[in-house]
Amino acid sequence: MNKIVLGLVVGGILGALDGLSALVSAPETQPQIVGIVIGSTIKGIVAGLLIGWFARKVRSVPAGVAFGFFIGLVLAFLVALMPDAEGKHYWWQIMLPGSIVGLIVGYATQRYGAVARA
């Protein structure tokens, strides 16, 4: 599996799990859970794609982890910008897990996945 596909898969799975975790951390979001999971999965896939592409270009675990953290944080920030029905923003509740998911994808794509042949 190449690094971009690995990033897509890991990002998608972690994104979906991250979305599902809202059922535990915020049970009141249950009616919107399908939308949350889809949105979180798409966010994970986009993050995985970018981080996987970066891993193909730059072979450095620290750089990959930092890039993953940054991408996760930015995408989570964009999601957190959207308030809920009552106008409440979930800043750190979304940005903290999002950035750690990015960090995990960053590490995974650097450590694992086949290097593209020239």
CB of 110 to another protein, least distance (A): 10
For residue 114, the cross-strand partners are 2
101 makes contact with another protein (CB under 8 A): yes
Q: Determine which helix (DSSP H) or strand (DSSP E) holds 18, and give its type and residue range.
A: helix 3-20
Distance (Å, whole) CA 38 – CA 16: 7
Binding string, residues 1-40; x marks residues near another protein by CB under 8 A = --------------------x--xxx--------------
Contact with another protein (CB under 8 A) among 40, 71, 107, 109: 107
93 makes contact with another protein (CB under 8 A): yes
The tokens describing 87, both together, are: 């106008």
Which one-letter amino acid corresponds to residue 75?
A: L
Choose between 16 and 118: whose C-beta lies nearer to another protein: 16
67 makes contact with another protein (CB under 8 A): no
Distance (Å, whole) CA 96 – CA 108: 18
